[in-house]
């Protein structure tokens, strides 16, 4: 008979293996069944649980059927710097401090980074109880390349900042994962289509691991149109949203495109053959063709 992981040992049992550590503990991003047995044990036995929202922590613990055994304290974006040393003093005394955010992995667009950085400065142990991550879940579901990717966090709220921010990502060759709020998703998808190109492949993943989980896939222009239509019909995209966007397609410049760079380098004093060799190698074009084109243009 398999033991129920919710039957966590009492807080006065043997010391935790994580004693004398800060533990970044991932919490479910939707489905409570995604909680690990280790998370349940840590919640039951840690000396301190530092939570982004203490009410949500207690609600999660109730769903998991576990009683938080230690002291619960708030740890959010407004107090994380000031509270870091208070938490680390517990660790320095041999205690276990568990850091949890509202969902997913602490320190990933959530509180956690500052206490880790301060723990490193103080030479204190930091470990993690890994688990659900909206970033990786959305990436895996997107159907887009996963071998190389970037996480860009939340999209800027203001239209001008958003356009400039997207412009800086236009040439990014790796798959990109972004967060966005439901009331801004239609405008953001339209801005992405305008700046990155309407034919750029993307996926909109919402309510991951929850009852109404949904993943929409297609070109950015089509996704923007669908989001706008659903918003107009009163059935807009709701809940926690991740957007996954394909990287910029790789293009090889033509020989003619590179002639100007070669001639500029020659005018600056570089030998023609050396300039051609270096530019051709960097661009991946035949050296002979570029040399002939540069001579003809000269």
pLDDT tens readout for residues 249-298: 887 788 888 888 898 888 888 899 999 999 888 888 899 989 899 898 88
CA dist 276 and 264 (Å) reads 11
Lowest mean pLDDT among 14-18, 23-27, 74-78, 159-163: 14-18
Give the domain extent around 203. 135-245
Number of domains present in the structure of the chain: 3
CA dist 62 and 182 (Å) reads 28
Q: Report the greatest alpha carbon distance in the chain.
A: 85
Among candidate residues 66, 98, 132, the one where a domain is terminated:
132
Residues 111 and 197 in one domain: no
Strands 175-180 and 149-154: parallel
Lowest mean pLDDT among 1-5, 68-72, 286-290: 1-5
pLDDT tens readout for residues 221-252: 999 999 999 999 999 999 999 999 999 988 77
Question: Residue 48 domain-assigned?
Answer: yes
What residues contact 215, with CB distance under 8 A and at least 6 apart?
141, 142, 203, 204, 205, 206
pTM for the model: 0.79
Name the 3-class secondary structure at 32: helix
Strands, E assignment, the chain: 21-25, 48-51, 71-74, 96-100, 125-129, 149-154, 175-180, 201-206, 214-219, 241-245
Residues 28 and 128 in one domain: yes
CA dist 217 and 242 (Å) reads 12
pLDDT confidence of residue 6: 46
pLDDT confidence of residue 13: 58
Q: Check whether 46 has a pLDDT greater than 50.
A: yes
Residues 49 and 124 in one domain: yes
Residues 125 and 172 in one domain: no
Residues 128 and 80 in one domain: yes
Residues 167 and 123 in one domain: no
């Amino acid at each position: 008979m398999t033991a129920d992981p919710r039957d966590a040992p009492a807080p006065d049992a043997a010391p935790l293996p994580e004693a004398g550590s800060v533990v970044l503990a991932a919490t479910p991003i939707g489905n409570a069944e995604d909680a690990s047995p280790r998370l349940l044990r840590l919640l039951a036995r840690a000396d301190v649980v530092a939570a982004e929202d203490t009410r949500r922590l207690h609600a999660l613990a109730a769903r998991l059927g576990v009683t938080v055994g230690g002291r619960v304290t708030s740890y959010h974006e407004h107090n994380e710097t000031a509270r870091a040393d208070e938490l680390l003093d517990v660790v320095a005394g041999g205690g276990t401090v568990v850091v949890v955010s509202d969902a997913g992995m602490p320190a990933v667009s959530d509180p956690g980074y500052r206490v880790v950085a301060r723990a490193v400065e103080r030479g204190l142990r930091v470990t993690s109880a890994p688990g659900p991550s909206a970033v990786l879940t959305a990436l895996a579901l997107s159907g887009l390349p996963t071998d190389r990717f970037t996480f860009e966090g939340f999209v800027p709220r203001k239209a001008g900042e958003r356009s400039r921010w997207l412009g800086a990502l236009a040439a990014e060759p790796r798959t990109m994962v972004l967060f966005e709020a439901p009331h801004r998703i239609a405008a953001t998808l339209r801005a992405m289509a305008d700046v990155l190109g309407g034919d750029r492949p993307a996926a909109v993943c919402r309510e991951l691991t929850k009852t109404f989980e949904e993943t929409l896939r297609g070109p950015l222009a089509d996704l923007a149109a669908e989001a706008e239509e659903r918003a107009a019909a009163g059935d807009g995209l709701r809940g926690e949203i991740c957007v996954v966007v394909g990287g910029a397609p790789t293009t090889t410049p033509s020989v003619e495109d590179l002639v100007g760079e070669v001639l500029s380098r020659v005018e600056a004093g570089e030998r023609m053959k050396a300039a051609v060799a270096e530019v051709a190698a960097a661009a991946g074009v035949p050296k002979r063709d570029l040399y002939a084109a540069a001579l003809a243009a000269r």
